[in-house]
Amino acid sequence: MSNATTTPDQERNLALQQESKFIGQPRAVGMLGGIEFCQYVANGMMTAMVLYYLYAKVSDGGLGFTQTQASQLLSLYMGMVILCGLVGSYMADRVLGERKAVLVGRFLATLGFTVLALPLGVWGYALSMVLLCVATMMHGKSVEGLIGKMYVKGDKRRDVGFNILYVLKNLNAFSAVIAGAIAMATGYWAAFAVGAVFSWIGFLAYYFTNKKFMNTIGNEPDDPIDPSKRNSFLGKFIAGIVVVVAIFGVLLATGVLTIAQFSNGLSIVQIFLPIVYLVYIVMSKKTTRAEAHRVVGLVPLYVCACFAAWVWTQANTILQVFAEQRTVLSIFGITLSPASFMTWSGIMSITWGTVTTLVWAKLGRRQPSAPAKIGFGTMMWGCGPLLMILPFVLYSSDVKVSPLWIMGFHVLIMLGEALSIPSGYSSAAQVAPAAFATQMMTVWSLAQSTGAALNAMSAPFYHEGGEVPYFAFIGIVTVVLGLVVLLFSKKISAIMGLKKEGAEA
């Protein structure tokens, strides 16, 4: 590449993409992974305690919701934040560019975590959730999009880079147990405050280092709106957010709309919106026929991700209640908080993530294809609920069971996550049409929203005496789906345009 055909910025960008100063990867991968680590610590400390905070008595520092309402509210948040990410990826692709999108989004998220740490009751909780959702509306999956841009086309390090991001995200394993200890000692707000501090650290680190590690990469939108229409679009966008939040706030506050009704209605949207958006991407004039064909190949992998997310949401809702009420909270003489199991989950994430990263790096082009990894990983996701059938079969409802059951559940599903999540994002990045680079990453992440929606709809069916069929249905369907994808992995790879089995994964 000569100076006659490239600008100094382009040369600098290429040098940053080709460098290997962070574990053989561009330094930007480490920087972006670091800010994701901080964000995940903040989010981990929140999600570890917020369910208990929601249904704890007001006299005990909680908000006084019922357990069912609390589970639905948490599922709603988990689903909403992913849906909002679709808007965020649109903003990144068309208005802000990924770099600015991350900056604005991370700032708003930090404000959200800060508000949650203040003793403002139900309205403080509601405001923090709104800020966190709007934050996601600003950046979507821009971090993953930026990491994808840190590799030139055909760079075999790409999957390892996404695996590194996965491991760094999950280094927050300690956050849940620390949040539980802080909450037990000083209250929920103190635990939320520590999470807010980490969010501030991540935001400031990105603010001061992103230019150094990425130069102009990701500065401009991939498919920009006409500059003459940009201000008008932003004005309407902000006004729309205010109106929607106000309408639903009034409806919920006055009781015209119940939490259950809102949950069910939003769940339907969460299930069908990804389908509509995938069709839009495939049919768009900005998508070539070859690109559309590759996106179609991603669909069965996306369905796997939806069911995996359904299983994961059990861990964040139903099994958190199970941990508090049906589990012996001690092991080897060590007293546990219910939130400790999320720390164990994080430890398993790091362990399996590290193992798979090393194995894929060692195998190189001989490793399994992304569809094969995702198929087998989905089977592991399904084995988690199947394991949870056993304590309900073996023990009566008045007996507290060993914590090893929930720990075993997390061992299985975190192996599934390590196999499927990085390969899923890498696959989405590879098949993404040029005009939908960031939006495609968010469409993939909408599987989490669909999983949360499935949980919000299925949670009322979880009741005493119905636990075995509940977990059996989720587990069997997920295992069968993964097996089908594994058996047809070569065909799926061909549709996605992956020339050689294993070359892409």
Query: What's the pLDDT tens digit per position in 283-310?
Result: 888 888 888 888 888 999 999 999 999 9
Q: Is the pTM of this model over 0.75?
A: no
Q: Calculate what percentage of the chain has a pLDDT beyond 70.
A: 95
CATH code matching the domain that covers 23-223+255-495, chosen among 1.10.10.10, 2.40.50.100, 3.40.30.10, 1.20.1250.20: 1.20.1250.20
Cα–Cα distance between 79 and 74 in angstroms, integer?
Answer: 9
Q: Which two tokens stand for residue 177?
A: 């147990």
Q: DSSP assignment of 266-292, as one string?
A: HHHHHHHHHHHHHHHHHH-TTS-HHHH
Alpha helices in 364-401 (DSSP H): 370-387, 389-394
Q: Each residue of 360-376: pLDDT tens digit?
A: 878 877 889 889 999 99
Beta strands 330-331 and 334-335 are: antiparallel
**Burial annotation 437-455 (CB, 10 A radius, 16+ → b, else e):** bbbbbbbbbbbbbbbbbbb
Query: What is the model's pLDDT at position 204?
Result: 95
Beta-carbon-side half-sphere exposure of residue 313 (alpha carbons within 13 Å): 29
Can you state the percent helix, strand and coil of the chain, rounding each to 5?
A: 80, 0, 20
Strand partners, 331: 334
The pLDDT profile of the chain, 505 residues, written as one tens digit per residue, is 445 577 888 888 888 888 888 888 899 988 998 898 999 899 888 887 888 888 888 888 888 888 777 877 877 787 677 667 667 767 777 888 888 889 998 999 999 999 999 988 888 998 998 899 888 877 767 888 888 888 887 777 877 788 788 777 777 777 877 887 888 788 888 889 999 999 999 999 999 999 999 988 888 887 788 888 877 887 887 788 788 778 877 877 777 777 677 767 777 777 788 888 888 888 888 888 888 888 888 999 999 999 999 999 888 778 888 888 888 887 777 777 777 787 788 789 888 988 988 888 788 778 898 899 999 999 999 999 999 999 999 988 888 989 899 999 999 999 999 999 888 888 888 888 887 876 787 788 778 878 877 887 787 788 777 889 999 999 999 999 999 999 999 999 899 887 543 444 4
Q: Note the pLDDT tens digit of each residue in 432-463.
A: 888 787 678 778 877 887 887 788 778 778 87
Return the structure tokens found at 35: 């800010």
Q: Express each pLDDT in 379-437 by its tens digit.
A: 999 999 999 999 999 988 888 989 899 999 999 999 999 999 888 888 888 888 887 87
